Copies of this chain bind each other. A is one copy, B any other.
Amino acid sequence: MVFNVCHKTWHRIRFVVNYHRREECKLGIVNRSMQAAGVLAGMFSIFSPSKDSLDGIEIEKFMTEPVSNMEKLEKHRTNMQARMELLIMKIQADFCRALEAEEQDGSKFRIDRWLRKEGGGGVSCILEDGQVFEKAGVNISVVHGSLPTEAIKQMRARGKKLSEGGPLPFFATGISAVIHPRNPYVPTIHFNYRYFEVTNTDGSVEWWFGGGTDLTPYYLNESDAVHFHKELKTACDVNNKSYYPKFKKWCDDYFFIPHRGERRGIGGIFFDDLDEPNQEEAFQFANSCAEAVIPSYIPLVQKHKNDGYGYSERQWQLLRRGRYVEFNLVYDRGTKFGLLTPGARIESILMSLPLTAKWQYMHKPEPGSEEDKLMSVLREPKDWLKIEA
Contact = CB atoms under 8 A, between A and B. Distances in A.
A358 B135 CA distance: 11
Given A330-B329, A346-B260, A359 B353 contact: yes
A128 interface: yes
A325 interface: yes
B359 A29 contact: no
Copies per complex of this chain = 2
A329 B350 CA distance: 13
> What's the dominant secondary structure at chain A's contact region?
mixed
A353 B128 contact: no
28 contacts: A27-B362, A27-B364, A28-B364, A29-B362, A29-B364, A112-B362, A126-B361, A126-B362, A135-B361, A137-B361, A259-B344, A259-B346, A260-B346, A322-B353, A325-B325, A325-B329, A326-B329, A329-B330, A347-B362, A350-B359, A351-B361, A353-B359, A354-B359, A355-B360, A356-B356, A356-B358, A357-B357, A357-B358
Interface in A317-372: 318, 322, 325-326, 329-330, 336, 339, 344, 346-347, 350-351, 353-362, 364
A112 B110 CA distance: 47
For the complex of A and B, the 5 pairs showing the least CB-CB separation, nearest first, are A353-B359, A329-B329, A259-B339, A126-B361, A27-B364
Nearest to A126: B361
Interface string A7-34: 0000000000000000000011100000
A384 B284 CA distance: 61
Interface string A162-198: 0000000000000000000000000000000000000
A355 B359 contact: yes
Given A329-B326, A329-B329, A353-B322, A361 B339 contact: no
Nearest to A326: B329
Nearest to A352: B359
Contacts of A350: 326, 359
A364 B346 CA distance: 13
A330 B326 contact: no
A372 to B, nearest CB: 11
Contacts of A330: 329-330, 336, 339
A344 B358 CA distance: 21
The residue in A330, A350, A361 that gathers the most chain B C-beta atoms within 10 A of its C-beta is A361
Contacts of A353: 322, 359
A86 B330 CA distance: 34
A355 B354 contact: no
Nearest to A364: B27
Given A28-B364, A112-B362, 5 more contacts: A325-B329, A325-B357, A326-B329, A330-B339, A353-B359
A199 to B, nearest CB: 29
Contacts of A355: 358-360
A318 B347 CA distance: 17
A268 B318 CA distance: 32
